[in-house]
Structure 1
Amino acid sequence: MIKKEMIYMKKENPVSEIFAYARDGKQRLILSAIFAVISVILGLIPFSLGAKILEQLLDGNLTRDYAIKLGLICLVAFLLKEFFGSISTYISHGVAFRTLRNIRVTIIDKIERVSLGYINGQSLGEFKKTIIDDVDSLEFVLAHAIPEMISNSIAPILLIIYMFTISWRSAVAGLISTIIGIFVVAIMMAGGAQKIFKVFTEGSAKMNSTVIEYVNGMEVIKVFNQTASSMKKYEGSVTNYRDVMNAWYNHCYPFLAINNVIAPLSVAFVLPVTAISYISGAMTMESMILSIVVCLGVSEPIQKLVKFTDHFNEINMVYSKLKQILSMPELSVGNKKIDVNNTGIKVENIKFGYSNNEIIHSVSFEAKQGKMTALVGVSGSGKSTIAKLIARFYEVQEGSIKIGDTDIKKMPFGDYSNLISYVSQDNYLPNLSLRDNVLMGKPNATETEFERAVEAAGCNEFIKKFERGYDTMVGDAGDKLSGGERQRVSIARAIIKNAPIVILDEATASIDPENESKIQNALDKLSKGKTLIVIAHRLSTIINADNIILMNKGEINAQGTHEELLEKSKQYKSMWEAHVGAKDWSMHKYVNRVKEGVR
């Protein structure tokens, strides 16, 4: 487990903070930098030997053996340069990819410990861009910029020192183009490049979010003929991204073009200075040639340095987003294992809301161990929110929820999760095999346990139609299965988990009547002997509940058995009569259709 607090709270240096994720890879990165330095030094040898050959050639003393000897030395130096450079790149890439993995694992681990209410209030496109695109952009910095920046800093320093030993005039002349190039880049950065880059990344995140929303909502868009308006929104985000990208390039490219032209032209300044020095007798032909050749090796590493420094903007931006995610408020959890002997649930005076809008107001009730407790009410009454608070998807803002006599906030999250099975009307199935989806409830389950679970959930009925059986992939979000089939897989997952507390959040709300009876049978097997909390809109499914809690506008309106509520609650009686009336209407409608068919 990565120590998250250490990573983002101790310092405020983005570079050191990002490198904290490298962990034991820091030593390997230092080794990569050493090999890169060796590679750069070896790359300087041909410049020096080339000057020697030119000197001998001009003096008329160049022999074939001498030329072959220096040529072989240059060849060996070049091969060694490539060898050490490749080793350096191999090591740095290994460290880079492990670091990216550590960052992503830390983000996902953090998200798992954050309230779903907080997560749902964030942009999916922003999360996607940060976790995938932004983190991926660090690969170049970690794998190339760091080791090569070190090596490309040392190389020009050595060359400039060497040029000063030859002639201080030529050394100063060789630095003029570099100084101009650096000055141009500095003007570019001071002119608002970082601000434009921030807007650029924000525009990219907005486009990502809009694309995800557009694709996910395609069915609704087509059904309600919203293609034009939705496309306009999509086009608007793409156009905005184009505009900010153009603004970025329009600002930076003139400066970069000037830098790219001037910075490599060190020889244009060295050549006239050395020529004048040679003519005046202040410099020998050997020194003149050596100065010209060596200055050619100064500009390339400095140009790489300028290129790499541009990528450090990405570190600042990614670190800012990373810090924002890692600073999200977490669910309160304990760190000591607590043995729970009573799995009854006590909800004591809880309050909850979004932002400043309180939607659950001082709710208290008890769901006794081994008994069935039902929450009913009109849409928006707060019953599903209470179920999610019990399941720890959200955090209560006041009051407490207890398992037995233990506040769930004092329990380790993993231990508490093992006590709960949660089945809703819209269960998510990842694109895994049917078998793997079921085994998510208990990864180490035996084959016998697996077979009992899928049989109890009624999965065998539809599995037969698949050629690969339980090894069939379910597709994205389970889209290869019908709603009823997905529901039965999720119930099998809950059955195999065999948790002592079962929460059914309108688990049959969107199921057709034919499948509802099958799923209801599966749910009965799932909840047998468990502490059961049921959220239902079909009152006929909960008339046998030990306690029915009627919710209204975030408060408990009444509670008791079915018979008790019919007597003392006008709202419940009205809901029951409406439910029975709807069932009778459906039956009469069915009978009339049958009669018409007979005719």
Structure 2
Amino acid sequence: MFRSIRRILALSGNLKSKVKKGIIYGTLESIFSCSPLIFMMFFIKDMVENNLSNTKIISYTIAFAICIFIQYLFHFKETATISSVGYEVISQKRKDIALFLKKMPMGDFMGKSLGEINAIVTNELTQIELYAMQLISKVVSSITILLVTILFTASLSIPMTVAFFTGFPISFIINKLCNKLYVKSAKTKLEVESNLIDNIVEYTQGISTVKAYNDNENHSNRMKSIFKEFSNKTIKKEAKIIPLLQGYSMFMYLGFGIMLSLGTFLLIDQKIDFTVFLMFAVVGIHIYQPFEILSAYSGTLKAMEVSLDKVDYLMKFKAMKEPDDIVKCKSFDVEFSNVSFGYTDETILKDISFKSLENTTTAIVGASGSGKTTLIQLLMRFWDIDAGEIKIGGKNINEYKIESLMKYISVVFQDNYLFNDTIYNNIKYGNEDATDEEIKTASKLACCNEFIKKLPKGYETIVGEGGSTLSGGERQRIAIARAIVKNLPIIILDEATSGVDPINEIEIQKAITELIKGKTVFIIAHKFATITSADKILVLDKGRLKEEGTHKELTLKKGIYYSLWQRQIGVNEWKIRGN
């Protein structure tokens, strides 16, 4: 329990002092909540001995009122201090995780399921956000009340105080079993929750495929079984705890009966007076409440530790190193020197060396799996290379902060993601300082102004998550407009025209022509006709750079590039013969 509290305090970071201040207020509140016991004892004693007077009654009432007032004053201070801390702490933690994920090698990030990461960042942190600080407060408050009450009753009669807790050893063992089940339940819930989120995301993203193959019933049944599994496993785990909780309470309250029996004998033997007996009877009704609270919260704290473990697990991945100082790039030549890289034990790129001069276009071609996309991702420092060096402007990319490096590089992917926002904001995402005129100009250059104007709300049209309300060609042109607005010196086009229809391809090629003017450009393309004018073509084969040169030079060599070129020409000349 105390380990859990220490971990939550550690999570608080620079807000730790605020949490500690709240705990102090909570402790003082608990002390004053017990103080009426003293006045109650004197009141009962005076009443039994027939010594009550109007003056004493008024004095006891005033004293009781003062204690209650001070108690609620500290309660107010505690609530005002600690109530918002959980939200502040987890808000900062989510930001820390977001920044950390940006600095994680893509291999580590892609190796984790979306459901698992989502469950950690949302559900797990939400549990901590809602309950962590309140749990600390309640646990400390319960322990304080318990200690003060035990000290008070022990000052009256040690044997009767001990009798209160005769059932405690068995209850303690049961509580330990409950905590273990809470941990198992929390782990199971996280696993099935991650699986549930993964399947929901997969189902929603693949709904068009499901409909196209008329597989609605199978997928619907699969989702029902996943929901049922989630329900059954979580209920089953929780159901195992309920009998133990009942047993915990039963053995705990057994001590109250033993205390009354012992007190009766002591009263008969005149070893205690009637006032003490009555005080124990009154206190006995409430003394177990802190134990009940601690039992309930200790299980919740144990379950919360599972959440903390998951957050720690995510944050223990090795982030890519960055320099302390911001380095500015003065030129935009790109150079690979003996670069080798592998995701795991398998080497993907082997001893790659080339140089692309500023304001030139370099195309990268090769068969699927030859390492084209990986080569470009290394330039963006999605991973750290195993050997060699990559330079931009004569400086190793490791000398740049990752965020600074990406301020020089703009990317248009094959499948670009648009946010569930307006078209205007999606384009402006490339440059938050862009003016209305710059956005409109970029849209015209990207050949998307015409279709945007035809939409019901024009630039204020919401595109849906991922740009689902737009066609592939429309999404691609908006992504190019975003890149034009961004206006960075290095442009990467990752198969930007792949999979679009001929009409859209013509429009996109026009947009690309405007985008790459005066830039250092890298193009990954399967359609060789789009790269014949490139200043340099790199031909990759099984992770090695086999050929390098212009289209003319490489076709004259009649090597790998020439073979790929001939195959593509042959495909383009295919015809369907009639009878």
Global fold match (TM > 0.5):
yes
Aligned-partner residue type, residue 493 of structure 1: R
User: Which runs of 5 or more structure 1 residues have no equivalent in the other structure?
Assistant: 1-11, 593-599
Structure 1 window deviating more from structure 2 (181-190 vs 158-167): it is: 181-190
- Deviation at residue 15 of structure 1 after TM alignment: 4.6
Structure 1 segment 63-78 matched on structure 2, within 5 A: 70=60, 74=64, 77-78=67-68
Query: What is the correspondence of 1:174-213 to structure 2 with a 5 Å cutoff?
Result: 174-189=164-179, 194-195=183-184, 197-213=186-202
Equivalent in 249, 252, 269 of residue 263 of structure 1: 252
The correspondence of residues 163-562 of structure 1 with structure 2, limited to 5 A, is: 163-189=153-179, 194-195=183-184, 197-227=186-216, 230=219, 234=223, 237-238=226-227, 240-242=229-231, 244-264=233-253, 266-562=255-551
Do the aligned partners of residues 52 and 217 (structure 1) sit closer, same or farther apart at CA in structure 2, a change above 3 Å counting?
farther
Aligned residues: 577
Q: Tell me, which stretches of 5 or more residues in structure 2 are unaligned? A: none
When structure 1 is superposed on structure 2, of 96-105 and 54-63 the one drifting more is 54-63
Report how far residue 179 of structure 1 moved: 4.5
Cα distance, 1:295 vs structure 2: 2.8
CA–CA separation in structure 2 for the residues paired with 1:205 and 1:81: 44
Q: Secondary structure at the match of 1:186?
A: helix
Partner residue in 2 for 1:110: 100
Match of 1:449, as an amino acid?
E
Kindly indicate whether the alpha-carbon contact (under 8 Å) linking 1:47 and 1:293 is maintained by their aligned counterparts in 2.
no
Supply the AA of the counterpart residue of 2:252: A
Shift of 1:264: 4.4
Structure 1 window deviating more from structure 2 (418-427 vs 568-577): it is 568-577
Distance in 1 (alpha carbons) for counterparts of 2:509 and 2:36: 81
Question: Aligned residues: percent identity?
Answer: 27
Partners of 1:223 and 1:388 lie apart in 2 by 33
- Is 1:332–1:410's contact at 8 Å kept on the other side of the alignment? no
For the 8 Å contact 2:440–2:449, the answer to whether it is kept is no
Q: For 1:438, what is the secondary structure of its paired residue? A: helix
Q: Find the aligned partners of 2:439 and 2:297 in 1 and give their Cα distance.
A: 54
Whether the 8 Å contact between 2:182 and 2:300 is mirrored in structure 1 is no
Please give the alpha-carbon distance, in whole angstroms, between the structure 1 residues aligned to 2:108 and 2:176. Answer: 40
2: CA distance, partners of 1:153 / 1:519: 68
Q: C-alpha separation between the residues in 2 aligned to 1:74 and 1:333?
A: 62
Deviation at 1:154, TM superposition (A): 1.4
- CA pair 126-43 structure 1, distance change in 2 beyond 3 A: same
Deviates more, 1:460-469 or 1:424-433: 460-469
Tell me, yes or no, if the aligned pair for 2:182 and 2:299 is still in contact at 8 Å.
Answer: no
Say which SS state the counterpart of residue 508 (structure 1) adopts: coil
TM-score normalised by L of structure 2: 0.91
Task: Note if contact 1:117-1:394 (Cα within 8 Å) is conserved in structure 2.
Answer: yes
Mapped partners of 2:447, 2:72: distance in 1 = 63
Which residue of structure 1 aligns with residue 74 of structure 2?
A: 84
Match for 2:31: what amino acid? I
Which sits farther off after the overlay, 372-381 or 172-181? 172-181
1:78-110 Cα offsets, whole Å, 9 max, x none, are 465445334423422211111111221111111
- The residue that corresponds to 1:596 in the other structure is none
1:503 shift after superposition? 0.7
Q: Do the aligned residues in 2 keep the contact of 1:335 with 1:410 (CA within 8 Å)?
A: no
Report the Cα distance in structure 1 between the residues aligned to 2:356 and 2:509, rounded to whole angstroms: 21
What's the C-alpha RMSD, in Å, of the aligned pairs?
2.9
Q: Which residue of 1 aligns with 2:124?
A: 134
Deviation at 1:533, TM superposition (A): 0.8
Q: Tell me: CA distance 1:332–1:24, structure 2 relative to 1, closer, same or farther (3 Å).
A: closer
Deviations 1:228-253 (A, max 9, x none): 66556645654554454345334422
Deviation at 1:427, TM superposition (A): 1.1
Which TM-score applies when normalising by structure 1?
0.88
Q: In the alignment, is the contact (CA less than 8 A) between 2:447 and 2:477 conserved in 1?
A: yes
Q: Answer yes or no: is the 8 Å Cα contact 2:329–2:393 preserved in 1.
A: yes
- Note closer, same or farther for the CA distance 1:225–1:245 as it changes in structure 2 (3 Å cut): same
Partner of 1:144: 134
Deviations 1:408-462, CA, capped at 9 Å, x for gaps: 1222112211111111111112223322222222222233333322222223212
Q: Distance in 2 between matches of 1:180 and 1:69?
A: 43
Secondary structure of residue in 2 paired with 1:464: helix
Q: Contact (CA 8 Å) 1:359, 1:553: kept in 2 or not?
A: yes
Name the aligned partner's letter for residue 445 of structure 1.
A
Paired residue for 1:162, among 146, 152, 168? 152
Q: Cα gap change, 1:373/1:294 in structure 2, threshold over 3 Å: closer, same or farther?
A: same
> Aligned partners of 2:8, 2:155: CA distance in 1, in Å?
40
What do the CA deviations read for 1:3-55 (whole angstroms, capped 9, x no partner)? xxxxxxxxx96654442332332222122122222332333245444555555
Q: CA deviation at 1:206?
A: 2.9
CA contact (8 A) 1:45 1:77 kept: yes
Contact 2:104/2:319 (8 A) holds in 1: yes
In 2: Cα distance, 1:550 partner to 1:26 partner: 56
Q: Is this contact kept in 2: 1:51–1:293, CA < 8 A?
A: no
The whole-number CA distance in structure 2 between the counterparts of 1:399 and 1:233 is 48
Range with greater deviation from structure 2 (503-512 or 89-98): 89-98
Check 1:140–1:421 CA distance in 2 against 1; reply closer, same or farther (3 A cut): closer
The one-letter code of the counterpart of 1:351 is S
Kept in 2, the 8 Å contact 1:374–1:545? The answer is yes
Following the alignment from structure 1 to structure 2, what is the Cα–Cα distance between the partners of residues 74 and 138? 37
- Structure 1 residues 174-224: Cα deviation after superposition (integer angstroms, max 9, x where no partner): 23244542232134446x664554344333333333333333233333433
Mapped contact 1:263–1:303 kept (Cα < 8 A): no
Segment drifting more, 64-73 vs 168-177: 64-73
| Maintained 8 Å contact 1:124/1:209 | yes
Residue 13 of structure 2 aligns with which residue? 23
Shift of the 72–510 alpha-carbon distance from structure 1 to 2, 3 Å rule, reads farther
**Secondary structure, aligned partner of 2:290:** helix
Pairwise CA distance, 1:341: 2.8
SS of residue in 1 equivalent to 2:166:
helix
Residues in 2 aligned to 1:582 and 1:356: alpha-carbon distance in whole angstroms: 37
Contact 1:438–1:489, Cα closer than 8 Å, also in 2: yes
In the alignment, the residues of structure 1 paired with residue 214 and residue 165 of structure 2 have an alpha-carbon distance, to the nearest angstrom, of 65
In the superposition, relative to structure 1, how do residues 90 and 467 fare at CA in structure 2: closer, same or farther (>3 Å)?
A: farther
Q: CA deviation at 1:258?
A: 1.1
Change (3 A) 1:100 1:201: same
Relative to 1, partners in 2 of residues 1:514 and 1:525: Cα closer, same or farther, differing over 3 Å? same
For 2:85, the equivalent position in structure 1 comes to 95
Inter-partner Cα distance in structure 1 for 2:185 and 2:481: 52
**Match of 1:7?**
none
Deviates more, 1:376-385 or 1:281-290: 376-385
Q: Measured at CA, do residues 464 and 99 of structure 1 come closer, stay the same or move farther in structure 2, by a change above 3 Å?
A: same
The SS at the match of 2:454 is coil
Amino acid at match of 2:93: I
> Are residues 557 and 363 of structure 1, via their aligned partners in 2, closer, same or farther at CA, if it must alter by over 3 Å?
same
- More displaced, 522-531 or 485-494? 485-494
Amino acid in the other structure paired with 1:151: S
CA distance in 1, matches of 2:35, 2:126: 36
